[in-house]
């Protein structure tokens, strides 16, 4: 005889539908029962839509996050002789910051456990980028991860399936029920995984603009504040930077070309906006780790960060000296007239790179590591008629037409340079 359930999913749905807070015990039960498949997908979809329409109070979001963490394993880095600090980005176009950031922070004796994911749609995945490197391996055992954090200080690898399995089910459901945009659900999804990872401190890079998950800056700010509160309430020192994703980050959009650009940053060069954001996030992470005065620019300039990068890649069976994949076909778009680049919309460039093969339409699809876009000019740059603006790369030139369709109307050349804007808009703390 099956056990009697203490709550009814319909009562929980009705409470949220009618704008009432859900009792803590009932909310914990709802997440647990959904993980056990007692609560159906249809019931959880109705609940998610009620949350989208009516929101959640801070305590409700905390309870739901804790329930999602409790659905799986929780890691602990307490035995490591180093402070741990992690970073999470809400994703964008050309966002390769994790690659130079993890070894840069680790160069200061801090452990950086970056459990990362793969791309879907127009935002690239960190693991897809690193798999451009011949031999590099994303899957590590917990023992391998701990050993690497102890000896090298930085690890970028795939998250195990045991972390917050309730979130995995709910995330897939949100994707097909029009409830992806619900801020309480986004916040609890991200933070349940990050808190379950066991890091002592966390810095969030919350993006807004054309190529971001949150286009509206006020909604991005609300998401950042919600996640900072969740981390703080769970005992994880958490801060967030609100950053601009209206134009692509850096000059490379893809996989292999983003690795190439990351290595340029680690060698003391690279595009100014990538360096600016890498340095800003490194300072935040090191401040939370007790090193507010760390000279992060010096660690890029003197090769310390590059040394950690090479050791990190080799530890995961990659060859840091091997040539990266190059595409068979390229197509360059040139400036139709003299002037200044006034606009490069991030989203169409992300979609174009995806159509070239740099992304995947379904989770099981492979990515083409050599495919992508290289920008030759950014907003504010002066260009002459006939000068290259950007180059598309693909293994098959049949892909260029649809990529160019995506880019129609996505860039402009004008007579005056646009006002300069910083990548980091504001810093959000508890």
Report d(CA 203, CA 59) in Å as an integer: 22
Does some domain include residue 309?
Answer: yes
Structural contact between residues 116 and 275, judged by C-beta atoms closer than 8 angstroms: no
Do 122 and 29 have their domain in common? no
pLDDT at 120: 62
The predicted pLDDT at position 340 comes to: 98
Q: 51, 45, 44, 42: which is closest to 15 by C-alpha?
A: 51
Q: Which residues belong to the active site?
A: 88, 167, 174, 189, 193
Pair 151, 296 in one domain: yes
DSSP 8-state code for residue 160: P
Does residue 392 fall inside a structural domain? yes
Contact 389, 323 (CB under 8 A): no
Say whether both 258 and 160 belong to one domain. yes
- Residues belonging to the chain: 430
> Domain of 48: which CATH number?
1.20.970.10
* Longest alpha-carbon distance in the chain: 79
Q: What is the CATH number of the domain that holds 384?
A: 3.90.1170.30
Could you list the beta-strand ranges (E) of 223-347: 237-244, 252-254, 329-334, 339-344
In a domain, 80, yes or no: no
Pair (116, 221) in one structural domain: yes
- The answer to whether residue 112 sits within a structural domain is yes
Q: Is residue 364 part of a domain?
A: yes
Structural domain count, the chain: 3
The last residue of a domain, from among 305, 321, 337: 321
Question: Domain check: are 154 and 263 in the same one?
Answer: yes
Residues 360 and 300 in one domain: no
C-alpha to C-alpha distance for 47 and 30, rounded to whole angstroms:
10
The whole-number pLDDT of residue 22 equals 96
Among candidate residues 321, 355, 375, the one where a domain is terminated:
321
Per-residue model confidence (pLDDT) at position 366: 84
Let me know whether 312 and 347 are in one domain: no
Q: Identify the CATH number of the domain in which residue 296 sits.
A: 3.40.1030.10
Domain assignment present for residue 208? The answer is yes
Q: Where are the alpha helices (DSSP H) in 197-271?
A: 217-233, 256-266
Which stretches of the chain drop beneath a pLDDT of 50? none
Q: What is the DSSP string of 358-422?
A: IS-SSTT----TT-EEEES--TT-EE-TT-EEEEEEESSGGGHHHHHHHHTTSEEEESSPPPP--
Q: Does 230 lie in the same domain as 159?
A: yes
DSSP 65-99: HHHHHHTS-----TTSSS-BEEEEE---SS--THH
Are 346 and 201 found together in one domain? no
Whether residues 110 and 204 fall in one domain: yes
Owning domain of residue 311: 85-321
Smallest CA-to-CA distance from 72 within 180, 155, 195, 171 is with 195
Is position 69 within any domain? no
Question: Among residues 215, 138, 177, which one has the least CA distance to residue 43?
Answer: 177
Tens of pLDDT, residue by residue over 24-59, are 999 999 999 999 999 999 999 999 999 999 999 999
The answer to whether position 74 is within a domain reads: no
**32/161 same-domain check:** no
> Do 221 and 294 fall into the same domain?
yes
């Amino acid at each position: 005889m099956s056990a009697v359930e203490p709550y009814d999913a319909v009562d929980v749905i009705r409470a949220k539908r009618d704008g009432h807070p859900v009792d803590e015990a009932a909310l914990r039960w709802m997440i647990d029962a959904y993980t056990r498949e007692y609560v159906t997908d249809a019931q959880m979809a109705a609940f998610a839509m009620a949350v989208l329409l009516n929101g959640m109070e801070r305590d409700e979001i905390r309870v739901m996050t804790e329930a999602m963490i409790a659905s799986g394993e929780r890691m602990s880095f307490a035995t490591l002789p180093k402070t741990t600090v992690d970073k999470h980005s809400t994703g964008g176009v050309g966002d390769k910051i994790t690659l130079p950031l993890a070894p840069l922070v680790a160069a200061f004796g801090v452990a950086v456990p970056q459990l990362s994911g793969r791309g879907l749609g127009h935002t690239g995945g960190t693991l897809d980028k690193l798999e451009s490197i011949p031999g590099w391996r994303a899957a590590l055992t917990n023992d391998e991860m701990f050993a690497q954090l102890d000896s090298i200080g930085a690890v970028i690898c795939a998250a195990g399936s045991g972390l917050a399995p309730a979130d995995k089910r709910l995330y897939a459901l949100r994707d097909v029920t029009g409830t992806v945009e619900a801020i309480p659900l986004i916040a609890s999804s991200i933070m349940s995984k990050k808190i379950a990872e066991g890091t002592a401190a966390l810095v969030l890079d919350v993006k807004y603009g054309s190529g971001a998950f949150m286009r509206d800056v006020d909604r991005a700010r609300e998401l950042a504040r919600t996640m900072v509160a969740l981390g703080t309430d769970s005992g994880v020192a958490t801060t967030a930077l609100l950053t601009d994703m209206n134009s692509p980050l850096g000059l490379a959009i893809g996989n292999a070309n983003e690795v190439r650009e990351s290595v340029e940053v680690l060698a003391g060069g690279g595009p100014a906006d990538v360096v600016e954001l890498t340095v800003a996030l490194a300072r935040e992470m090191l401040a939370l780790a007790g090193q507010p005065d760390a000279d992060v620019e010096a660690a890029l300039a003197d090769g310390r960060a590059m040394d950690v990068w090479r050791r990190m890649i080799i530890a995961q069976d990659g060859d840091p000296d091997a040539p990266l994949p190059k595409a068979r076909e390229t197509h360059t778009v040139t400036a139709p007239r003299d002037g200044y680049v006034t606009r490069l919309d991030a989203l169409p460039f992300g979609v174009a790179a995806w159509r070239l093969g740099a992304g995947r339409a379904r989770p099981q699809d492979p990515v083409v590591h050599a495919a992508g876009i290289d920008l030759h000019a950014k907003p504010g740059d002066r260009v002459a008629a006939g000068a290259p603006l950007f180059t598309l790369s693909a293994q098959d030139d049949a892909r260029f037409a649809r990529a160019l369709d995506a880019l129609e109307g996505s860039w402009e050349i004008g007579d005056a340079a646009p006002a300069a804007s910083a990548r980091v808009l504001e810093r959000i703390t508890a």
